[in-house]
Amino acid sequence: MTTFRLLLALVEAHNWILKQLDVNNSFLHGELDEEIYMLLPPGLQSPSTILVCHLKKSLYGLKQAGRQWYAKLSNFLLSHKYFISTFDHSLFLKHDGNHTTTILVYVDDIVLTGNNPMEISNITNLLNNFFHIKNMSDLTYFLGIEMARNTTSIHLSQRKYTLDLLKDTGMLGCAPVPTLMLHTLKLSATKGVPLDDKEVTTYRLLIGCPIYLTNTQPNISFSMNHLSQFVSKPTDEHHQATMRVLHYLKNAPGTGISFIAKLLFN
């Protein structure tokens, strides 16, 4: 996520091209480097019950599938003069004079950006010919984050993620509140009635899901970090404070952060 946000800042500061690619059936491209056998799939007729399938290529469901797909993609990019960042192995870069092209990979979602239109067009065509790209467009959605770009800024938000969170917790119709926590509230590990095991599990889910929202809503970081200190033995007071965070999110689910070129240059 740090690499992704850094890339977006560079894109806006230098007005780079920003594209997204989605590989079709990515895990099926992986090459196996060991012998793997599997039971016959349902519906396949066989004259013997002891026969099994010998896999020649990677398959969805294999523990090795993700690793083999990454190996296939990285070898392809390395063969076209890209190199892997030593700080983030999901980031591939290519420098050609004053031109820079970067590729950020998360499983089969690829973010392609840079200031060299010819190289971006070339590598897109090569990837499409080799892996069959099913979606090539301007970047608008990545890792649950929605992006809206205009001539002066890039705005990031997680509106859909927020609404899904409220729906899953039964809080979609809750009344919004303007503040995260009451200024008189002082939480501690000893105050309140301890939750039972089922309620503790629910509390931990309520803490874990909103933490991902801090990527675009840093204003909730303090509250979520404070509440996460009580996940081992939460009480009803901690639960009430967590529910207030959901009420706050309902107030403005589309709240986010913006990268503004003028501010970045300054």
For 247, the domain range is 159-251
Domain membership of residue 77 (yes or no) is yes
pTM to 2 decimal places: 0.82
Q: What is the pLDDT of residues 171-226, one digit of tens each?
A: 999 999 999 887 778 888 888 888 888 888 989 988 988 889 999 999 999 999 98
Q: What is the pLDDT of residues 1-45, one digit of tens each?
A: 889 989 999 999 899 999 999 888 888 888 888 888 888 888 887
Residues 115 and 208 in one domain: no
Q: Are 45 and 52 in contact (CB under 8 A)?
A: no
Give me the DSSP letters along 198-258: HHHHHHHHHHHHHHGGGGT-GGGHHHHHHHGGGSSS-BHHHHHHHHHHHHHHHH-TT-EEE
Domain membership of residue 115 (yes or no) is yes
Domain membership of residue 182 (yes or no) is yes
Residues 133 and 174 in one domain: no
Give the count of domains, the chain.
2
Domain membership of residue 20 (yes or no) is yes
Q: Are 187 and 237 in contact (CB under 8 A)?
A: yes
- Tell me which H or E stretch contains 134: strand 133-138
Please check the confidence at residue 111 and state whether its pLDDT lies above 80. yes
CA neighbours closer than 13 Å in the CB half-sphere of residue 168: 11
Residues 114 and 17 in one domain: yes
Domain membership of residue 170 (yes or no) is yes
Residue 151 and residue 171: Cα distance in Å, rounded?
36
User: Which residue, among 27, 16, 86, 91, has the nearest Cα to 55 in the 3D structure?
Assistant: 27
- Tell me which H or E stretch contains 128: helix 117-131
In this structure, how many other beta carbons lie within 10 angstroms of the beta carbon of residue 82?
Answer: 18
Residues 131 and 177 in one domain: no
Domain boundary among 98, 114, 143: 143
